[in-house]
Amino acid sequence: MHSSLVGSARAAVPLYAVAPSGLRKFLAGRGRREAACLKASGFAAKEHELRLVPAASGKLAFAVLGLGAGSDPLALARFAERLPAGTYRYEMLPVPAELATLAWMLGTYRFARYRGQPKAPPRLVVPAGIDAEELSRIAGGVFLARDLINTPANDMGPAELAEAARGVAGRHGAKFSETVGAALVKQNYPLIDAVGRGSARPPRLIDLSWGNPRAPKLTLVGKGVCFDSGGLDLKSTANMALMKKDMGGAAVCLALAELVMGAKLAVRLRVLIPAVENSVSGAAYRPADVFRSRKGLTVEIGNTDAEGRLVLADALAEADGEAPDLLIDVATLTGAARTATGFELPPFFTDDEALAADLMKVSAATHDPLWRLPLWRGYESTLSSSVADLTNLPDYSYAGAITAALFLNRFVTDAKSWVHFDIAAWTDRPKPGRPRGAEATALRAIYAVLKQRYGK
């Protein structure tokens, strides 16, 4: 169970959450002195407004959080973010107890690797009737992904990402292997080698497997570009500033693997992560180069800053060769996706109508937003090259997220079902439980679908 949760406690301080419409009734139910205290403080139940109300003894009598319009399902995370050390209990909940408890745990997240030890978080008495272990597992997955993404590239290169994957494998008895450096060419992963060879840190393909070989095959492919300079098509300073997060897809896939194995879902799980650094050097790949991919398709390099789809192409071809029942790839792939739906609403692409419906349904139920965009085949021609089978720079100025998805889809032919997530892996507008910085985008929704399909 998460360290911020306790099974029971004496004299836990009650927590209330109130919308403006219910404020008068709430005040009427408090003691005269406490109601007067709240009124004197100007408490109006505005969104994220928190008040600590003392008892006559000077101890804390209760805390109350304003909900405003009540549009934020994770608003109760503000309690864990702002309350002093102590033990608390929910007294009045505007959302289901499971969501309220998850919000509390998400509110305790701190990335403290480069700072002093954070203060011990306040603790919450677990509400009756919920599965605290499962909720703790989910929060732990979110924190794992956030920690990996928040770690700067000097401490999170391809080798370090591989060690993180090895750690996940070790915790669950999974098999771990990696193909590194020159071995990528020998074992026919030419696009992963091409993107990563410009860096002094060798590229690699990370491979993790777990579960009963006779169970349904679930394969996760995560983009692991540990830093993206843009290569010879160098990014601007502003566009390079957040590129430590370009391995966010890999981080989410490792977190998903942690959840799947921890919950012992009935699958044969495989995780493939092409881990590279896209750097500038004499060995770097160039615009107009042509490479034959693992699948056999030749690819002309139109832009070295469209590297994510290249490393994913080889990994997807490897995954597809096993004809998995479900193939999921997760990647911080295009700025076009951010332009289309923003940081908070990641798009996904699939031709599997049942899977798309399940994803949209659990997205709403878990309050982990997703939005389906079309694999519009009318844009296939934009991938044409005059010298190769296709180019990584579509001949079209629009629909960049769609054309990138179509590029990836060219490397998936045998999987029974495939879905691609184009995520931000970053929170640009902080909210309760979602501080500015790394985010495990789409993790909770994808896990909910997997648990629904493969849970015992």
- Which positions are catalytic? 235, 309
The number of angstroms, rounded, from the C-alpha of 35 to the middle of its chain's C-alpha atoms is 42
Q: How many helices (H) and strands (E) does the chain have?
A: 15, 20
Asked if 108 contacts 35 with a C-beta cutoff of 8 angstroms, the reply is no
Q: What is the DSSP pairing of strand 175-180 with strand 13-18?
A: unpaired
Taking CA atoms, 191 is separated from 105, 178, 307, in Å, by 40, 16, 9
Q: What is the DSSP pairing of strand 326-331 with strand 290-292?
A: unpaired
Separation between Cα atoms, residue 122 and residue 130, nearest integer Å: 20
DSSP H stretches of helix in 57-123: 77-82, 97-106
Residue given tokens 């994220």 in the structure block: 48
Residue given tokens 């570009």 in the structure block: 225
In 175-304 the beta strands, taken as DSSP E runs, fall at: 175-180, 204-211, 217-222, 224-228, 268-278, 290-292, 298-300
The encoded tokens of residue 153 equal: 């590239």
Separation between Cα atoms, residue 400 and residue 381, nearest integer Å: 13
The encoded tokens of residue 413 equal: 């032919």
The number of residues in the chain equals 456
DSSP letters for 207-232: EEEEE-TTSPEEEEEE-EEEEE--TT
Nearest to 330 by CA among 254, 417, 407: 254
Separation between Cα atoms, residue 111 and residue 113, nearest integer Å: 6
Residue 385 backbone dihedrals phi, psi, to 5 degrees: -125, 150
Residue given tokens 């997205």 in the structure block: 363
Task: Give the contacts of 15 (CB within 8 A, at least 6 positions apart).
Answer: 62, 63, 64, 65, 76, 79, 88, 89, 90, 91, 92
Query: What is the CB neighbour count within 10 angstroms for residue 436?
Result: 11
